[in-house]
Amino acid sequence: MTHTKGSLDSPAARLLAVLSAVARMRSASVSGVAEALAMPVATTHRALSELERLGYLQRVPGSRLWTVAYRLVGLASDALTAATGGITANAILRGLTERIGEMTSFAVQSGDEVLYIASVESPHELTLSFRAGRKAPLYCTSSGRLFLARLADAALTRYLKASPLRGFTPRTVTDPEELLGIIGRVRRQGYAMTHQEYVLHVVGAAVPVQSEDGTFYGAVSIAAPDVRTGAARMRAFLPAMKDAAARLARAFRGV
């Protein structure tokens, strides 16, 4: 997003611009935000402090950087929930489900959890349901691993050390070192897959919903019973999933 001097001529406009800049940069210094917005450092610092007071930004522990806080994550989730309530976004997910025959979902990150905000069930008698509003862990779900793959190495390591890595099934990976390797592969591949790690006998895959300018909206995922879908079949679904993700990104941008 490009801001001109005229577009930042009110306190509200400056607060929104700073909020947008930090969210886009993931973590940023006062000088970094000031430079990105061509704003005075003192003005930028006041805006950051006000957004921290309001609960939308927070300091990164042990640094001079700022990042988003849970209140902003909740606001973003509510906004995307409203957006996916439109017929276009729901039609994209429904078209994907009809194309591959399995349940599809759109999810965002909410704090240290995955938040499913739209879902379409498969036509099979044996099916799954991750209804809107349901939450799941980051480390053992395909969507969650996509979100973790976006973290810097130091932040990812801190998360894995601090998070209680519960074993939901006998197949849940809970070793931090092994998870670091898995998430590294997710970064290289650009997609994530899980096999009975969150729900027994359920396999999943996820791809990012990201626009051409790099704006990240969330993840499109599929989940299916393992008796019907193996790893090879899940990989065969990836082109259709990526196509749906690209269409969702365009819908969110209003293109």
pLDDT of 56 > 70? The answer is: yes
Residue 29: other Cβ atoms inside 10 A: 17
Residue 64, Cβ density class (10 Å: 0-12 exposed, 13-18 middle, ≥19 buried):
exposed
Residue keyed to tokens 């065969």 = 236
CB 151 within 8 A of CB 100: no
Question: For 71-102, how does the pLDDT look when each residue is reduced to its tens digit (9 = 90+)?
Answer: 776 676 666 656 555 567 778 999 999 999 89
Task: Please tell me which residue, 89 or 133, carries the higher pLDDT value.
Answer: 89
Q: Containing H/E element for 107?
A: strand 103-110
Largest CA-CA distance found in the chain, in angstroms, rounded: 61
| pTM for this model (two decimals) | 0.70
Q: How far apart are CA 144 and CA 219, in angstroms?
A: 9
- The mean pLDDT of 103-117, rounded to a whole number, is 86
Picking from 3-7, 52-56, 159-163, 167-171, which range would have the lowest pLDDT averaged per residue?
Answer: 3-7
Residue 60, pLDDT above cutoff 80 = no
Residue 101 amino acid letter: G
- Distance separating alpha carbons of residues 242 and 219, to the nearest angstrom: 10
Compute the average pLDDT of residues 207-232: 88
Percent of the chain with pLDDT over 70: 85
Cα(223)–Cα(205) distance, rounded to whole angstroms?
7
Q: Where in the chain is the domain with CATH 3.30.450.40?
A: 72-253
Residue spans in the chain of domains classed CATH 1.10.10.10: 5-68
Q: In CATH, what number does 72-253 get? A: 3.30.450.40
Give the architecture-level CATH label for domain 5-68. Answer: Orthogonal Bundle (1.10)
